[in-house]
Amino acid sequence: MTILVTGGAGYIGSHTCIELLNNDYNVVVVDNLYNSSKKALDRVKEITGKDLKFYKGDILDKDCLEKIFKENDIDCVIHFAGLKAVGESVGKPWEYYNNNITGSLNLIEAMKNAGCKNLIFSSSATVYGDPAQIPITEECPKGKCTNPYGWTKWMLEQIFTDMHTADPDWNVILLRYFNPIGAHPSGLIGEDPNGIPNNLMPYITQVAIGKLPELGIFGNDYDTPDGTCVRDYIHVCDLATGHVAALKKIKENCGVSIYNLGTGVGYSVLDVVNNFIEATGVNVPYSFKPRREGDVPQCYSSADKAKRELGWEAKYGIKEMCRDSWNWQQKNPDGFGEAESL
């Protein structure tokens, strides 16, 4: 089976490529390297001892997509490519809607033309907005997003669902990721944020290595056990195996299926900091700051449906997530080096 992985050089995409190769899938990657480096794919090959096919290309470029489908017999697409910086999306809505929505419309047009109707999409727990219930099941209604990035996920879920409604031959799996952290245990690939990180774990590792002076914890007066926000952190390697499980499901002509990919366990910001210190022996100075706009107090999954229907569950615990994030940061203090710009 041949899988087209859009955005396969990125953080989650590169870890997923490893799992795909280890499970003997043929892998074709398209990535414009806007937020990633080709080095990640070289390291995927190094880790697996297997090859993959790489197209440096943009999903906004219809000709590029047509060429890829002409040159390869693609059975299924795993669609990671997209812009993902929440704060940036507020100031650049056009860029986010254009890249994420137009790019995805181009992709499904190329898929349609090629007769490939199997799609696994990287969605996010952000579509639940301020969740109606905790833990969040897939039946929980979609909520109001707080930023254009979130809306692109919300809208794309609807667009892909409508494709199936119009033509039931389409199989669409919407994977709603909770908070991916960690890195491949080899320390060869991991998350490489541009500039000062917005997300918690890369911020912690950069404080730990001395690049940033201290962590600001956004809010300690939430209605949670220790007053800091609670999230469902999941090891990126677990997320990767979730995609292989989804591929097996899509072969059963599953129609539209939605799965949370989380651990089902919530950790507060302070829990994460304390686990990081215990797992690594490295101190992380912090101070409390005002709440960050748009944050919800608690967001963690019910992971039951993925276990029941995909036979998948997360294996790594919070200490391993901290250990592997730190291992990657230590071995690659400057990430992969300069990513290419558009």
Q: Interaction with ligand NAD in 148-177: which residues (CB under 6 A)?
A: 177
**In degrees to the nearest 10, what's the CA dihedral of 24, 191, 308, 120?**
-60
Applying CB under 6 A, among 31, 157, 232, 238 the residue interacting with ligand NAD is 31
Under the criterion CB under 6 A, does residue 299 sit at the interface with ligand NAD?
no
| Smallest separation, CB 152 to ligand UD1 (Å) | 11
Tokens at residue 1, please?
């089976």
Of all residues in the shown chain, the one whose CB is closest to ligand NAD is 10
**Which partner from the list ligand UD1, ligand NAD, none does 86 bind, CB cut-off 5 to 8 Å by kind?**
ligand UD1
Determine how many CB atoms are found less than 10 A away from the CB of residue 94. Answer: 8
C-alpha–C-alpha distance, residues 230 and 228, integer Å: 7
Of 84 and 323, nearer to ligand UD1 (C-beta) is 84
**Which partner from the list ligand NAD, ligand UD1, none does 325 bind, CB cut-off 5 to 8 Å by kind?**
none
Tokens at residue 321, please?
């997530």
Stretch that binds ligand NAD, among 54-62, 200-208, 292-300, 315-323 (CB under 6 A): 54-62
Amino acid at residue number 171: N
Q: How many residues does the chain have?
A: 342
Of 49 and 195, nearer to ligand UD1 (C-beta) is 195
- Residue appearing with tokens 């799992």: 19
C-alpha–C-alpha distance, residues 260 and 57, integer Å: 30
Applying CB under 6 A, among 68, 78, 81, 215 the residue interacting with ligand NAD is 81
Of 35 and 118, nearer to ligand NAD (C-beta) is 35
Of 58 and 271, nearer to ligand NAD (C-beta) is 58
Applying CB under 6 A, among 44, 59, 200, 265 the residue interacting with ligand NAD is 59
What residues contact residue 158 under an 8 Å CB cut-off, 6+ apart? none
143 neighbors 129 (Cβ within 8 angstroms): yes
C-alpha–C-alpha distance, residues 14 and 9, integer Å: 5
Is there a catalytic annotation at residue 222? no
**In degrees to the nearest 10, what's the CA dihedral of 71, 77, 79, 81?**
-10
237 neighbors 306 (Cβ within 8 angstroms): no
314 neighbors 262 (Cβ within 8 angstroms): yes
**Which partner from the list ligand UD1, ligand NAD, none does 129 bind, CB cut-off 5 to 8 Å by kind?**
none
Determine how many CB atoms are found less than 10 A away from the CB of residue 103. Answer: 23
74 neighbors 8 (Cβ within 8 angstroms): no
Of 150 and 190, nearer to ligand UD1 (C-beta) is 150
Nearest to 54 by CA among 77, 38, 43: 38
**Which partner from the list ligand UD1, ligand NAD, none does 292 bind, CB cut-off 5 to 8 Å by kind?**
ligand UD1
Stretch that binds ligand NAD, among 33-41, 67-75, 287-295, 323-331 (CB under 6 A): 33-41
Binding site residues, ligand UD1, CB under 6 A: 84, 86, 124, 126, 150, 179, 198-200, 203, 215-218, 229, 231, 269, 292, 294-295
List the catalytic residues: 149
Point out which residues bind ligand NAD (CB under 6 A).
7, 9-13, 30-36, 58-60, 80-84, 99, 103, 122, 124, 177, 180
